[in-house]
Amino acid sequence: MTPLFVLYEHASGYALFKVKEFEEISMLLPQVEASVTDLARFNGIVKLVSFFPFKTAIAALENVNAISEGIVPDDLALFLQSNLPKPKKEKFTLGVADAKLGAALNEAINVSCSHIGAVPEIIRGCRMHFANMVKGVTDKTAGVAQLGLGHSYSRAKVKFNVHRSDNMIIQSIALLDQLDKDINTFSMRIREWYSYHFPELIKIVPDNNMYAKVAHFIKDRKSLDETKLEGLEEIVMDSEKAQAIIDASKMSMGMDISQIDLMNIEMFAARVVRLADYRKELAEYLHSKMGSVAPNLQTLIGDQVGARLISKAGSLTNLAKYPASTVQILGAEKALFRALKTRGNTPKFGLLFHSSYIGRAGLKNKGRISRFLANKCVIASRIDCFTETPSNVFGESLKQQVEDRLKFYESGEVPRKNIEVMKEAMELQAQQVVANSEGKKKKKKDKKKRKNGEEENGNGVHEEENGNGDTTMEVDEPAPKKKKKKNKNKDQD
């Protein structure tokens, strides 16, 4: 029988427990679940081997951060090596709560770990009776340690995420999609509402945003005359349409409407117009953020598709870690699982379907260009994520590669190899870096010259106008320094 040791990570330190009669316990899992709630019965199964308390709260935070990332801290490695039997002399199993930590411990100290079977129930019992099984720890002190460590751990995670600009991209693209839905719904409501009064306007002005602006401008169709033609032309941007609106208002078959109803329609139309204007500002904000965070991905597939990929992945780092096969069907998870369940054809594209390349490809080549585009998106996202000097040089090269591949599918023209294209892009990137560094040096020199010039002007350079309007420069000669020293000496005497 191989003995079982269980590692429990608490906010106050590491605890190592030994489980008695592990083979029998694994066979009687329901009895273990029942004995967890009873301290006397649980003490008969589990025995404390050793406890390693954290010296400071900073040490506890460092250990928790390492464990959460799947890294074995030095304190934990030393604690286990000093308390566990040597693997060469005695075979045993170490129970852990996290599978990643078990794999890291296996690599670090060569210990076989398990996180299944009776291990989760035993860890649950250790968590429940921890204060009674470890000397010097009470329920109050354990709660204070957990609360303090939880606050510091959460604060560190939030601080880490605050400075990431891809979170702003995720929120802005989600808001942009929501605004599109809301504006479309509200515009349809204005169409139905205002059509009772002016039904002919829908055929003349089919655009939703323009319709809301025109309805807000016209208000009562009976008050519309030739004096408002210029205002209508500014909104519609077409003199013929503006004249058609005026002509239709004179012969409209719409019903008369009260002043209160018109006021409500006007207020609602103004709201929709403001929402549409804000949507344009948000699109510009997203364009600027994508240009600073993921310029290559933006150049390759555009602002909105690139932002949706980042949002679906959770962050730019997660997107960079994905393989191309995952990026290709990102956003089509339902169709994928349905195809796997019914053993049908798997989807060829997800969010990438909204890019212009797939629409330009033929039916036979849509899946091929989707796969190729996913490869290039992965390369662009990895460059954007890990580069120190962001630029869109690689994005332009990758975009040209996709264009060449589309030509290859249509005409058979063989595209250039990826190695050649990437070498040229790297040379261009190096040239840009050199040019930027030289530009910065020139700016610094110009600033220094300006400062020196300002100091010279401040030390006695005066401009005076003559009677003819010309300016003359008069420089006051500075007083000699020797005289000042003599005056000082005289004053001292």
Q: How far apart are CA 423 and CA 363, in angstroms?
A: 33
* pLDDT values of the chain reduced to their tens digit, one per residue, 493 residues: 577 888 998 888 999 998 876 544 444 566 666 677 778 888 888 888 899 999 888 888 888 888 888 888 888 889 988 888 887 677 888 888 888 888 888 888 888 888 887 888 888 888 888 888 888 888 888 888 888 888 888 877 765 544 457 888 999 999 999 999 999 999 999 999 999 999 999 999 998 889 999 999 998 888 888 888 888 889 998 889 999 999 999 888 989 888 999 999 999 999 999 999 999 999 999 999 999 899 999 999 999 999 999 999 988 989 999 999 999 999 998 999 999 999 888 898 899 999 989 988 888 899 999 999 999 999 999 999 888 788 889 999 999 999 999 999 988 888 888 888 888 888 888 888 788 777 777 777 777 677 676 655 555 444 444 444 444 444 444 455 444 444 444 444 4
Dihedral, CA atoms, 252, 258, 262, 264, nearest 10 degrees? -140
Q: Which of 352, 359, 304, 355 is nearest to 324 (CA)?
A: 352
96: how many CB neighbours lie within 10 A of its CB?
24
Bridge partners for 461 per DSSP:
475
Predicted TM-score (pTM) of this structure:
0.62
CA–centroid distance for 258 within its chain? 50
Which long-range contacts does 232-241 make (Cβ < 8 Å, 24+ apart)? Answer: 235/210, 236/205, 236/210, 241/204, 241/205
Q: How far apart are CA 139 and CA 170, in angstroms?
A: 41
Q: How far apart are CA 317 and CA 386, in angstroms?
A: 9
Residue ranges with strand state E in 54-200: 93-95, 113-114
Q: Can you tell me whether residue 303 is helix, strand or coil?
A: helix
- Burial letters for 168-178: b for 16+ Cβ neighbours within 10 Å, e otherwise? ebbebbeebee
Phi then psi dihedrals of residue 93, to 5 deg: -125, 140
CA–centroid distance for 236 within its chain? 38
Q: Which of 336, 373, 326, 325 is nearest to 352 (CA)?
A: 373
